Amino acid sequence: MSVHAAGLAEPKSAYVWENLSAASFETGAAPSFPTKKVTRALREYAIAGALHLDHLAGLRHSPANEGMLDLTSFQLSRSLCMPEGETRAKLDRLLLQHEIEWRSFISSLGPTSFLADWAVEGRP
């Protein structure tokens, strides 16, 4: 996602999961990756990682997280010796930037991507 946001490209061979646009998790792996190593645990870790990024992208819009964001902003402002309003504005900007980058990344994979299927906030 970071490489995509920077407008750069890496060779597919840099990752075991070479094709995030694939329709299934299993078919996204490099052909040289042994099928027996595509385990349920590996799939669950991948889903968890994608959902963490997806949930972070939606954090600003969740009323359930408003109190947590207020507390985090308060704690950061105290530890950074910054006004709380400035701290909250910077936190909001960080979350907005992540949301923009996540949505752009998921959108770039296409609607049939297994990763797009896992994402909720990433849908265009």
pLDDT for the residue 13: 84
Predicted confidence pLDDT, tens digits, the chain (124 residues): 999 999 998 888 888 999 999 999 999 999 999 999 999 999 999 999 999 999 999 999 989 999 999 999 999 999 999 999 999 999 999 999 999 999 999 999 999 999 999 987 544 4
pLDDT for the residue 122: 47
pLDDT for the residue 115: 94
CA distances from 74 to 60, 63, 82 (A): 16, 17, 10
CA distances from 46 to 17, 59, 122 (A): 10, 20, 16
Nearest CA to 119 among 69, 65, 63, 46?
Answer: 46
pLDDT for the residue 120: 75
Q: What is the DSSP letter of 59?
A: G
Q: How do the domains of the chain map onto residue ranges?
A: 2-118
Q: What is the DSSP letter of 92?
A: H
Output the pTM of the full model: 0.87
